[in-house]
Amino acid sequence: MKLNIVPARTGITWVKLGIQTFFKQPLAMAGLFFMYMAAATLASLIPFVGVVLALAIVPAATLGLMAATQEAAKGRFPMPTILISAFRTGKQRVRAMLVLGFLYAAACLLIVSVVPLFFEVPASREAALTPGMQGAMLAIMVLYLPISVLFWHAPALVHWHGVSPVKSLFFSAVVCFRNAGAYVVFGLAWMVVLMLIGMLVSLLAGLLASPDAAAAIVMPAALLMAAMFSTSLYFTFEGSFDASPDDNPNNNDHPDNNPTPGDTL
């Protein structure tokens, strides 16, 4: 498995492939994303450990959605059980995915613990749009960016290629930086798509002239956009590495599933 250097315009291709694949199996892909969101919401309601669990399942859920995208791209209907693909392989990879999940949870909790030390976070909804809250949100976004880079490809590398959690974070960061142009274009392209869909939804909401009807359109539209975005993540992985995911992820001992820094740089 080697790092694949791609031109910046490839970011647009990843977005197109994600949207096209989503519409090959729209009910399945949207349903799987909603199932993940429901599971995360239920997990967060567990006393004391709920928030940690909700964050810890993000890498595994990301891998499940990527596996579903792989199935949809091949013209197959992804079943609900594909969401737990990360936990249906050998013990070593399951353990590695759990470690990755709790590393992600720890990183996110560290951010939300540090930001209030420098910004005043309002307790009321009315104060949510104050400059202090806006500054806090901006700080969270900036601090989350390196976490996103580290964990972008880590779940796929752990599951499909047997890379250790720490190495998977390293390889993920390297590929994102080496293909920074493509990832910037990818993000900008999705911003354009979101703006266009947002304008369309706003237009429809204005024509309906009903707050309740508008809310009924906005929330599903936002979730569908999030589902399409998650579908495009698989193609960023497929395009950034010259080896496609192993069709047999249970093969933990295959030597080709363990890249070294020399293989990817």
Query: For a pLDDT cut of 70, what percent of the chain falls above it?
Result: 84
What is the rounded distance in angstroms from the CA atom of residue 214 to the CA atom of residue 204? 8
What confidence tier does 253 reach under pLDDT thresholds 50, 70, 90? very low
What pLDDT score was predicted for residue 249?
A: 44
Q: Residue 202's pLDDT is what?
A: 78
Higher pLDDT, 171 or 203: 171
Rounded to whole angstroms, how far apart are CA atoms 213 and 217?
6
pLDDT tens across 93-142, in order? 999 999 999 999 999 999 988 888 777 766 555 555 566 677 778 888 99
| Main-chain phi, psi angles of 245, to 5 degrees | -55, 145
Q: What is the structure's pLDDT at 11?
A: 96
Q: Residue 220: is its pLDDT beyond 60?
A: yes
What would the mean pLDDT of 246-260 be, rounded to a whole number?
43
**Residue in 62, 80, 78 with CA at minimum distance from that of residue 157:** 62
